[in-house]
Structure 1
Amino acid sequence: MPHTLNHIAILTSGGDAPGMNSALFAVTKTAQLQGIKVSGVRKGFDGLIDNDLVPLEFQTLQHTMHLGGTVLKTARSERFLTIAGRNQAVDTLLKNNIDGLIAIGGDGTFKGIESLSQSCAIPCIGIPGTIDNDIAGTEVTLGFDSAVNTAMQCIDIIRDTAESHSRVFLIEVMGRDSGYIAIYAGLTSAADAILIPESIKDINYLLEKINRYNSEHAFIVVVAEGDEVGVELVAKKISEINSAIDLRVTKLGHLQRGGNPSAADRMLAIRLSVAAVNALIKGERNKMVGLLNNQLRLTPFTQIAKQHKVSQELHTLLTVFSC
C-alpha cells in the first residue's frame, strides 16, 4: 500500500565509500521535489541515538556530489548493539516525526536497520554502499568502481618504478572478505598474479611463476588484504624461493576509499536513490534496493549477507591471466 511520507531521515553507516554524497544529493532532490522534508543523521547510528539530525537541502548537496567520503560522517556504533541504544534511536525518530528512513552502508548497516525495525513501525530502505562489492542482492555496490579505478591507477604508477628496477612488487588492496577489488584492479593492470580470499590455490600458482621468474621486467602481484596467506607471508615465501629477487611490498590502504566518485558510481547513486525514495512512497519496508541484471530490485534485509564467492567466470579469468 502507498505510504504517506512527510519527513525522511537518511544516514551513512560503516565504512565510507565514494558516491555516498551523490546518493545524499539524489535522495534529497527526489524527496523534496515531491514535497517531502529530508533530515540527515550525523555519524550513523550514533547520531540516531544522540538526536544529531540536520536539515538537508538538495541545492546545498548539489555542490558536494563530486566529493568522496560522506558529509554526514559515519561511524560504527557499539551503543546501537544494545536494546537501550536502539530504544533511544526509536525515540529520536518519533520525536522528529520521521516516517521513513534510508540507510547507506553494508551488511552490518542493514542488520542494524533490521533490528531497529523490530522496535518500531517506521519503514526503512537500504542503499548498498561499500567498496568491497560483497553484498548479496546487488551485482555492484556504491563505491566499488571508484575504488577499483584508484587501485588500478596506483598499480600502473608502481609498475613504472618496478620496470625501471626489474623488481617484484606485492601490492595489497582492500578486501577483508572479498577479492573483487583485487580481481578487477589486478586484471585491468595486467598483474602477473592475483591472490584473493576465495581461492586457496592461487599461492601455488604464484610460487610456480616466481620459480620460473628470470626477467628484466617487473613482476606485479596484487593481494587482497583478506587473503588467507597474507602479504607478509607471501613476501617471505618468495624470498625463500629466490633470495636474489629485488622485492618490495606496498599497501594501498585507505586511499582506495577516498577520491572523487567515478561517473559509474555517481550514476549508480542516482538510480539507487530515486528507487529508494519511490520504494518508501509505495509502502515498501525493510528492503535493500540493488541492481540485478542491470535492473532495479528490492531484497528483504533478512536475505542480505556478505558474498563469499566469486563467479566461475572470474575464476577462469584469473586462471588465464595470472597463472
Structure 2
Amino acid sequence: MKDFPERLRHPEKAHRPAQETARKPSWIRVSRAESPEYGETRRILKANALSTVCEEAACPNRGECWSNRHATMMIMGETCTRGCSFCNVATGKPDALDAFEPGRVAQAVAKLGLNHVVITSVDRDDLDDGGAAHFARTIRAVRHQNPTTTIEVLVPDFLHKGTAWTVVVDAAPDVFNHNLECVPRLYPSVRPGARYYQSLRLLDDAKRRNPQGFTKSGLMVGLGESFEELRQVMDDMRAAGVDFITVGQYLQPTPQHHKVDRFVPPEEFRRIAEMARSKGFLAVSATPMTRSSFHAGADFARLQAARRAQTPAMENPNA
C-alpha cells in the first residue's frame, strides 16, 4: 500500500498563502434552507453511517436537494488519495473498505424513496482496482433492494488501474459519469493527480463497452479557461460519445483552494449551453449553479426522452 501522510485537508497546499475568497455576484445563490425534510434526510444518512458529497465537497445546493430528500452518496470513505486544488474533500490515508457499506446505501435509498440515485466516491489510488469492485457491489445492492430505482455513478479516473473500470460498466449503471472538470491546460494546477486524456479515454471506453448506456461528464468554468478551449473540450467529449454535459461555476471552498478567476455571468452560460446543444449532446445543463448531480433524476428523464426522440419509430405492419 502506498505510504500517505496522516489525514489532512490538502497538506500539499499548506505552503500556499491564503487568499480571500472572491465576493459572489447576485446570480450566485446558495440554498441554506433547512426544512423538516432536510432534517429527515440528514437523519437517514446518519442512521446508515453514510457520507455524501453534498457535505464533504461543501455543495452549495445541499439545502435544496436535501429538502427534496435527494442526496449523492459518497462511498469508500471521506478521505481521498488525491489533492485537487478545487476540491474540499479531505486528502490523506483512507480507512479500509467497509464491506457492509453497499447494503447501507441500498437501505438509505429505500428510506429516502429515491427514484434515481447518484453514487460517487473519493479517489482510492491505494486500492489495486481503484475501488471498482466496491462500486459494482454497491450498484448490485441498490438494484436488489430498489429494483425500480435508476442508478447513476460518478466514478474516479482509475488511473494506472488497467481494465478495472470494466467491472463498474458491467454492473450496468443507467448513467456512467466521469467529470473532466476543467480544460486540459489547467490540469497541472487544478487537477494535478489526473491526466486529461486518461479521463477522456475512460469515457470513450465506457461508451464502447456499453453503447446503450448513457455517459455523462462535467466542467467547471471561472478558472481561467477560454471559450475556444471549452469548444475543444466539447468536441473531445462528443468524439468520445458523451451523451450529457454539465457546466457550472467554480466556487472557491476556502482561501487555501484554487482562486476563482472570474464569475461567469448567466448570459455567457446561455451561450455555452447553445454551443453544447449545437455539438449534438442529448442533454445539456449549463448554469452558474449547475453541479454534476444537481437535479440528476429530472435530467435522466430528459436523457431518456431525447434518445427516444432520436430513435425512428418502427413501422407497424398492420397500419
Q: Which has the higher helix share?
A: 1
TM-score, normalised by the number of residues in structure 2: 0.31
- Structure with higher Rg: it is 1
TM-score (norm. length: structure 1): 0.30
